[in-house]
Structure 1
Amino acid sequence: MTTSTETGSTSTATAASAAPAPDTSRELKKGSLAAFRGLMPFLTPYRKQFFLAGIALVVAAASTLAIPAAFKQMIDLGFGGAAGSKSIQHVDLVFLALFGVASILALATAARFYTVSWLGERVTADIRSAVYRHVVTQSPEFFETTQTGEVLSRITTDTTLIQAVVGTSISMALRNVLLFLGGLVMLFVTSAKLAGIIIGLLILVVVPIIVFGRKVRKLSRDSQDRIADASAMAGEILNAMPTVQAFTHEKIESKRFGDSVEGAFMTAMRRIRARALLTMIAILLVFGTIVFVLWLGARAVLEGSMTGGDLGQFILYASIVAGAIGALSEVMGEAQRAAGATERLLELMAVKSEIESPATPLPLPARAANGAALSLNDVVFSYPSRPDTAALDHVSLDIRAGETVAVVGPSGAGKTTLFQLFLRFYDPQSGSIRLDGVDIKQLDLHTLRDAIGIVPQDTVIFSADAMENIRYGRAGASDAEVIAAAKMAAAHEFIERLPNGYKSFLGERGVRLSGGQRQRIAIARALLKNPPLLLLDEATSALDAESERLVQKALEAAMVGRTTVIIAHRLATVQRADRIIVMEDGRIVETGTHASLVALGGIYANLAALQFHHVQINQAEPS
């Protein structure tokens, strides 16, 4: 792909809630060179390769500039001299010299091409890795407002444009600058009068080209933005195909994407028309200037003020200068497109996560035999996307080491938000959370999250085999440990029945598994991690009755020696908890055991009554 992606309006908005997102519709006032300065950290490690490429570049340019001088000698002293062995010998020497220059030119050009191509591939790989490393450290706040399709497009298409610049355009630009300057000097050496005229005219020609080039740059950026819109839309829809097809929206979504692609096409065509017009104007004005000056030179030869060799040399150097200007205008167009891509990548790299490890993190105390203690002290939290709505409102809670606590309540009560804060995906606006007495803000993020295992409600299965999906819980685990975790999670039997057992590929997002099977894989992953704190977010919600019984038994064994916090609606899970926390509107409204809360007659009692009534109705219905 050769197009870039959407500018950083979405990504930069996530850097800090107080920082407004930049307007993607306006052209950034930075020039191409200013944008490319941001690439210096990626270029400086390869100074040696740039130096070697520079040597090859200078040698190739010098060889090219030597060719017209050889032609002058051939014309004036060979064809223009007296016939005889001296002239023949001179011609022989001139052609031998030309062949030698061509050989040097060929070697230098090959060396330059290889070196700069290597640089382009190497720098692009470094940039892609750096951008990906940066993105995966962002907090969920970043992904609330940034489409993953946009990020992926930046990593692929934007870096491809930069690769073209580093691996080709910079080399071409420098080569043609050298040819332009060297040719210009030789034009003055050959005929100062004609050279002065051609320079004056070229200055008049370059000004409108530069002015028109700015419009091309803005259209290039707009085109890249529209491609990014289409890419992000396609990614979103493809990830939701079952829903799209269930609601028979295939034609609607196809039309939406088609309209987006058509908009990108129209924007691209405006860029192409402007680019074509710019190229036409540049070639017409530049070569028109050269033709006019050469006409003057031809008259000078006829008048005897110049030799035929001088005119031939001047023509060749003028051609070199004109070719260099034409190539530079082409390179400038590519550089302008790459500048936009660079700006977007640098915007993405400039996004700073609000959630970072402290400069001097504190260690966690040695793990206790019965798990980790967890406490919340007057925690207030609102999601960045909903700053006026409190997801947690002055919540205080102490969970003892080894305790199993169930959190229940209606949707939107703040149950899952608790888990988000425990893992420090977000920081509360006020209050503190402590793990084994240490404020989690004072812990290294890896230390904190290594101490927590989670089974989310929406299970994530990667495009890998069953063994590697479970091993995701602890990268260094042996096959035997993976299988043991699968057995604890009641996943071993169904995995063994897969075509290749634990080596069976599970498909993208686990499409080859049922919902219950995906959830048991996630439970096995968490058990393999063996953390002191276990978070279960509706861990048995997708299981049938038999699987739930097996998993409940396995979870009970897994809870031994660790602290467990459970979000659950099924009473079979809740009743086994040491304590039940009832939440509503971001507050803890009831606390107690199943029996005490039922006797209280509050929110939990109503939830229990509704569930018992539903169970009784199901049991009463004939099969």
Structure 2
Amino acid sequence: MSSPSGALGSLIPVLGFLRPYKLRLLAASAALLFTAAATLSMGRGLQVLIDQGFAGDSADLRAAIGLLLLIAAAIALGTFARFYLVSWLGERVSADIRKAVFDNIVRLHPGYFEVNRSGEIMSRLTTDTTLLQTIIGSSFSMALRSGLTLVGALVMMVITNLQLSLYIAVAVPLVLLPILVFGRRVRRLSNQSQDSIASVGSYAGEVIQHIRVVQSYTREQFESAAFAGEVERAFSIARRRIRQRALLICAAILLMFAGMSGMIWSGGQDVISGEMSGGELGAFAFYAIMVGSGVATISEVWGELQRAAGAAERLIELLNTRSVIVDPGQKPGNNARRQPALALEEVTFRYPTRTEVPALEDFSLHIPAGQSLALVGPSGAGKSTVFELLQRFYDPHSGRISLDGADIRELGLKQLREQIALVPQQPALFTGDVRYNIAYGKPGASEDEIVAAACAAHAHEFISALPAGYASHLGEQGVRLSGGQRQRIALARAILNDPRILLLDEATSALDSESEYHVQQALQELMHNRTTVIIAHRLSTIRHVDRIAVLDQGRLVATGTHEELLSNCELYQRLARLQFRDQRSAREA
């Protein structure tokens, strides 16, 4: 993504998130200006203390100290207001960016996640937004405050003593030079550092997700060493970034205080000769210190702003990414028929990451309304691809897919997908309770509806035996349930959704024989007079379907009933021989 011109140009879109909070921004700006003015007035207070308080009587000293205390109170109150308001804005904008990025991510097409790691995306949502929160809520405020006090102090120095101001005027441009030189390096290394942190998080997340596989193959030591390598690489990049920032701060401070030393020498000579009062020199030195500390703060914050620019660039890239699946929005009608017909007409499709081999090629298949169709074939034949296209997770490169004669690209995505329920081979459960997972596709379902769906899926008995029944939490990805139990929860979800179209990816594959029998009965009832497409890996489970479609290498080989295909389809005959032979061998064993 091309960023706007300027080193910090990528922060401009982020600052746009401040627009809804104009009043708080104005209040924070007022507090900032008030605090800067109060801080600058401290120099005059020091001049009064030295020239009048120390040179006069106790009353003059008391008045001078009272003035300083009044200025200090104003600074304290202004700082409180500035800190609270700016910190609030930082937290609020960070939360808004997180929501905006997540809202966009959940609407992206699945192909996007084939080429972008989930761990890196999560890093952007968490680490990068936290960094921006720190910048907006702290560092950016510090930079503005230091900039205001620096300019104000320079003006006051000129008013106090023009000759001495020339020393500081020469030093300031010299300080800006290392900021520009080192700033570019810091930004480049900051981007690399954020990428390396994302890589560390992604690697750790993947290992934890598959921890059982890691431990079953005794790969703990290997994964620990590999993770240590990722961490050390991230540390190496961070170390280079820190070194550049340290050099930047060091150069700024040395140059600034070199100019101040020359100023103090010349001013001291003027005080000794009587051409300047001690109070004027004290006030001038105070302003000079403010200029020096302001430049030092800006040079330090500059590195943070460079890091923030890299984080903002990555977040805005996510925010501006658009799904290749265009949603035309809700269309009237298309829901009249309870049993819709589906058709794939001369469809050719290649996955974005495997463009050299078509997943489907000149593929045509008609699925009559209210009937059941099973897809069979060897691995890689294109069965799962049909499911992906029917749900419009991808669009075909050529050909069309229709629902009741209407191209599904003309239907709204919500309008299309709310008519479909999928029961995958590997059920997806969320970190929540049983009730939440069953009602995921129908959040407003009543307790009776949820229990009825669970009973139909033969899940009610084991759910009732859980410690908290339907309120029992299942753990991450349903880890507290067995494979068969997870499958029945997913089936109950589909039953509750009561879809017009049912997609079953060998939904009983994870069940034991007794549960499979009962769930098959439930499926028979669910599939009755409902358009159903089944991916079948075991031919014994699909003898009851209306039709079977045989796929091979992305093409439709034959369609028919089980008996018809046994007599006229060589591929189906071979698949049947292999499976039924394996079943006989298993029984004999």
Q: CA deviation at 1:393?
A: 0.7
Q: CA deviation at 1:364?
A: 4.1
2: distance between equivalents of 1:206 and 1:115?
30
Q: CA deviation at 1:165?
A: 1.0
Cross-structure match for 2:28: 53
1: distance between equivalents of 2:230 and 2:389?
38
Q: CA deviation at 1:616?
A: 2.1
Does 2:165 match 1:195?
Answer: yes
1: distance between equivalents of 2:441 and 2:514?
25
Q: CA deviation at 1:39?
A: 0.8
Cross-structure match for 1:5: none
Cross-structure match for 1:8: none
1: distance between equivalents of 2:335 and 2:200?
51
Cross-structure match for 1:106: 76
2: distance between equivalents of 1:125 and 1:366?
38
Cross-structure match for 1:391: 359
Contact in 2 for aligned 1:176/1:325 (Cα 8 Å): yes
Instruction: Give the letter aligned to residue 147 of structure 1.
Output: R
Q: CA deviation at 1:88?
A: 4.3
1: distance between equivalents of 2:122 and 2:531?
38
Contact in 1 for aligned 2:89/2:137 (Cα 8 Å): yes
SS in structure 1 of the partner of residue 473 of structure 2: coil
Cα shift readout 1:210-249 (whole Å, capped 9, x = no counterpart)? 2122222222222222121111111111111111112211
Does 2:207 match 1:234?
Answer: no
Contact in 1 for aligned 2:53/2:62 (Cα 8 Å): no
Cross-structure match for 1:6: none
SS in structure 1 of the partner of residue 441 of structure 2: coil
Select 1:500's aligned residue among 454, 468, 471: 468
Cross-structure match for 2:564: 596
2: distance between equivalents of 1:472 and 1:223?
38
Unaligned residue ranges in structure 1 (runs of 5+): 1-11, 13-21, 23-27
CA 1:103–1:413 in 2, change beyond 3 Å: closer, same or farther? same
1: distance between equivalents of 2:537 and 2:148?
74
Cross-structure match for 1:320: 290
SS in structure 1 of the partner of residue 584 of structure 2: helix
Does 2:330 match 1:368?
Answer: no
Cα shift readout 1:571-605 (whole Å, capped 9, x = no counterpart)? 33211110110000101101101111111141112
Contact in 2 for aligned 1:220/1:271 (Cα 8 Å): yes
Contact in 2 for aligned 1:357/1:444 (Cα 8 Å): yes
Cα shift readout 1:311-355 (whole Å, capped 9, x = no counterpart)? 111011111111111111111111111111111111111211101
More moved, 433-442 vs 377-386: 433-442
Select 1:571's aligned residue among 539, 550, 556: 539
Does 2:484 match 1:516?
Answer: yes
Q: CA deviation at 1:470?
A: 0.7
Cross-structure match for 1:554: 522
Cα shift readout 1:119-174 (whole Å, capped 9, x = no counterpart)? 11111111111111111111111110111111111111101110011111121111
Instruction: Give the letter aligned to residue 166 of structure 1.
Output: I
Instruction: Give the letter aligned to residue 254 of structure 2.
Output: L
Cα shift readout 1:51-78 (whole Å, capped 9, x = no counterpart)? 0001111111111111111221232234
Cross-structure match for 2:14: 39
Does 2:271 match 1:296?
Answer: no
Cross-structure match for 2:251: 281
Cross-structure match for 1:16: none
Cross-structure match for 1:72: 47
Cross-structure match for 1:350: 320
Does 2:304 match 1:334?
Answer: yes
1: distance between equivalents of 2:246 and 2:142?
20
Cross-structure match for 1:128: 98
Instruction: Give the letter aligned to residue 106 of structure 1.
Output: A
Does 2:586 match 1:618?
Answer: yes
2: distance between equivalents of 1:395 and 1:135?
31
Unaligned residue ranges in structure 2 (runs of 5+): none
Cross-structure match for 1:400: 368
Contact in 2 for aligned 1:364/1:443 (Cα 8 Å): no
Contact in 2 for aligned 1:149/1:232 (Cα 8 Å): yes
Cα shift readout 1:266-306 (whole Å, capped 9, x = no counterpart)? 22112222222222222122112111211111011112221
2: distance between equivalents of 1:423 and 1:260?
38
SS in structure 2 of the partner of residue 534 of structure 1: strand
Does 2:402 match 1:434?
Answer: yes
Cross-structure match for 2:226: 256
Contact in 2 for aligned 1:364/1:438 (Cα 8 Å): no
Instruction: Give the letter aligned to residue 260 of structure 2.
Output: I
Does 2:141 match 1:166?
Answer: no
Instruction: Give the letter aligned to residue 393 of structure 2.
Output: F
Instruction: Give the letter aligned to residue 64 of structure 2.
Output: V
Q: CA deviation at 1:29?
A: 8.5
SS in structure 2 of the partner of residue 472 of structure 1: helix
Select 2:551's aligned residue among 566, 583, 590: 583
SS in structure 1 of the partner of residue 400 of structure 2: strand
Cross-structure match for 1:491: 459
TM-score computed with the length of structure 2 as normaliser? 0.97
CA 1:601–1:587 in 2, change beyond 3 Å: closer, same or farther? closer
More moved, 197-206 vs 44-53: 197-206
Instruction: Give the letter aligned to residue 54 of structure 1.
Output: S
1: distance between equivalents of 2:429 and 2:132?
33
Does 2:187 match 1:217?
Answer: yes
Cα shift readout 1:472-503 (whole Å, capped 9, x = no counterpart)? 12111111111111111111111112222212
Q: CA deviation at 1:427?
A: 0.3
Instruction: Give the letter aligned to residue 430 of structure 2.
Output: F
2: distance between equivalents of 1:537 and 1:61?
67
Instruction: Give the letter aligned to residue 377 of structure 1.
Output: E
Select 2:37's aligned residue among 43, 59, 62: 62
2: distance between equivalents of 1:221 and 1:347?
13
Instruction: Give the letter aligned to residue 331 of structure 2.
Output: L
Contact in 2 for aligned 1:404/1:566 (Cα 8 Å): yes
Cross-structure match for 1:183: 153
Cross-structure match for 2:119: 149
1: distance between equivalents of 2:569 and 2:146?
85
Instruction: Give the letter aligned to residue 11 of structure 2.
Output: F
Select 1:244's aligned residue among 211, 214, 218: 214
Instruction: Give the letter aligned to residue 92 of structure 1.
Output: R
SS in structure 2 of the partner of residue 431 of structure 1: strand
SS in structure 2 of the partner of residue 614 of structure 1: helix
C-alpha root-mean-square deviation of aligned residues, in Å?
A: 1.6
Does 2:501 match 1:533?
Answer: yes
Contact in 1 for aligned 2:341/2:367 (Cα 8 Å): yes
Contact in 2 for aligned 1:363/1:443 (Cα 8 Å): no
SS in structure 1 of the partner of residue 343 of structure 2: strand
TM-score computed with the length of structure 1 as normaliser? 0.92
Does 2:445 match 1:470?
Answer: no
More moved, 586-595 vs 507-516: 507-516
